[in-house]
């Protein structure tokens, strides 16, 4: 089956999955209405490219939960989503992620670990 891409960004995300964290951060910010740099941050582990996290501020009005945004993000990219306790597992072909969304007093933290 041939894969068709609608944009260069979509192509890059598909073939350079380490950039997926950047795309997820953008999706979270867009959906939560976070437009200022101080409202979000991304961190990648320099010693382990399979670990990273995104922290986003809790907006004053929340129309969609970060967990739903994460589920939708991976689902739109062809991943099967399973939730086990607090762990979201996103699986597709030979690629799998564990994602945990935690709510703090002023922000959400989305921890992502690429399993394989």
Phi-psi category of 27—alpha, beta or left, where left has phi over 0 and alpha has psi -120 to 50? alpha
In a domain, 52, yes or no: yes
pLDDT for 18 equals: 58
Q: Please tell me the total count of domains within the chain.
A: 1
Indicate the burial class of 116 (C-beta count within 10 angstroms; 0-12, 13-18, 19 or more): exposed
Range of the domain at 49: 8-114
Look up residue 4 and give its DSSP letter: -
Please report the DSSP string for 15-48 in residue order: H-GGGHHHHHHHHHHHHHT--SGGGEEEEE-TT-
User: pLDDT tens digit string along 27-53?
Assistant: 999 999 999 999 999 988 778 778 889
User: pLDDT tens digit string along 97-108?
Assistant: 999 999 999 999
Q: Is the pTM of this model over 0.75?
A: yes
In a domain, 62, yes or no: yes
pLDDT for 58 equals: 93
In a domain, 2, yes or no: no
């Amino acid at each position: 089956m041939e894969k068709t891409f609608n944009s260069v960004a979509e192509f890059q995300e598909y073939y350079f999955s380490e950039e997926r964290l950047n795309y997820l951060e953008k999706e979270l910010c867009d959906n939560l209405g976070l437009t200022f740099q101080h409202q979000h941050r991304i961190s990648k582990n320099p010693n382990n490219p399979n670990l990273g996290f995104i922290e986003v501020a809790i907006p004053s009005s929340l129309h969609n939960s970060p967990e739903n945004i994460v589920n939708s993000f991976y689902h739109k990219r062809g991943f099967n989503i399973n939730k086990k306790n607090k762990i979201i597992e996103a699986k597709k072909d030979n690629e799998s992620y564990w994602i945990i969304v935690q709510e703090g007093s002023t922000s959400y933290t989305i921890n992502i670990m690429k399993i394989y």
